[in-house]
């Protein structure tokens, strides 16, 4: 529905873009099943190494999905510029999850006649493949730049937007405003040392001091998992109750 979504957004902007607006756009891609147009697959093909393994093929198809979504998101940006409101518009681009493209693969989790195309999965682990998502924030009139790497949370987006609009973050809000950092201030020491939490399918994870990540899984996943060279594995085989990463 990527092309349909962008068409609807352009139609809506044509009707309402002349006055102040809040617009939430939800692209379902990049997402399985991977069925990007050939144009995007050709653009993201990096060579014969894309056929080295099943995982490398899926990574290529996923890049095609990213390219396809980016192309349609760019149409929205172009429309804002043609309307003369791009500079004064605050834009946030992020995602809810990534996909795993590792040796193990997940299959038959969205079975159905309409489900065709390449498929890896998400929701069974809290590995970085799944939880490290993009976060791009464009403030009105701001020049482009990159913030020094640091872990932040999607929970921070709400307070950041409130701060940018001159409002105080809601009482009890779990996130912290990133607005001072976007304005050029360094990431505060307290933010660099505070635990970052995430939650997924029957699992919780906490990153400590930007370095150590502890994952606690409470139940076996009911995803159907294929392991490397082992055929169809049991659910219990793929449950590790406690994991600590450096």
Look at residue 232 and tell me whether its pLDDT is greater than 80: no
Instruction: Work out the pLDDT band at 234, boundaries 50, 70, 90.
Output: low
What pLDDT does residue 226 have?
A: 53
- Is 209 buried (19+), middle (13-18) or exposed (0-12) by CB count in 10 A? exposed
Give the DSSP per-residue string, 24-50: ------S-SSB---HHHHHHH---GGG
Which residue is it, tokens 């352009």? 10
Using a pLDDT cut of 90, give the percent of the chain over it: 43
What pLDDT does residue 111 have?
A: 44
For the ranges 22-36, 84-98, 117-131, the lowest mean pLDDT is seen at: 117-131
Higher-confidence residue of 16 and 116: namely 16
The average confidence (pLDDT) of the chain is 83
- DSSP-derived secondary structure letter, 149: P
Look at residue 120 and tell me whether its pLDDT is greater than 70: no
């Amino acid at each position: 529905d990527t092309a349909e979504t962008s068409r609807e957004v352009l139609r809506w902007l044509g009707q309402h873009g002349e006055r102040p607006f809040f617009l939430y756009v939800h692209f379902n891609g990049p997402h399985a099943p991977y069925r990007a147009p050939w144009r995007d697959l050709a653009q993201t093909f990096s060579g014969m190494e894309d056929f080295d393994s099943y995982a490398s093929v899926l990574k290529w198809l996923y890049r095609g999905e990213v390219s396809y979504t980016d192309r349609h998101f760019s149409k929205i940006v172009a429309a804002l510029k043609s309307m003369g409101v791009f500079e004064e518009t605050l834009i946030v681009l992020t995602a809810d999850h990534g996909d795993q493209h590792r040796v193990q693969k997940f299959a038959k989790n969205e079975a159905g006649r309409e489900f065709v195309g390449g498929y890896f999965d998400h929701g069974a682990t809290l590995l970085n493949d799944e939880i490290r998502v993009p976060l791009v924030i464009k403030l009105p009139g701001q020049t482009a730049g990159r913030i020094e790497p640091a872990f932040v949370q999607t929970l921070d987006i709400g307070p950041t937007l409130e701060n940018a609009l001159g409002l105080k973050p809601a009482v009890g809000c779990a996130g912290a405003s990133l607005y001072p950092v976007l304005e050029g201030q360094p990431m505060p020491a307290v933010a660099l040392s505070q635990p970052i939490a995430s939650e997924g399918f029957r699992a919780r994870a906490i990153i400590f001091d930007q370095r150590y990540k502890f994952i606690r899984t409470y139940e076996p996943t009911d995803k159907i998992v294929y392991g490397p060279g082992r055929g169809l594995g049991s659910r219990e085989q793929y449950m590790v109750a406690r994991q600590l990463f450096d």
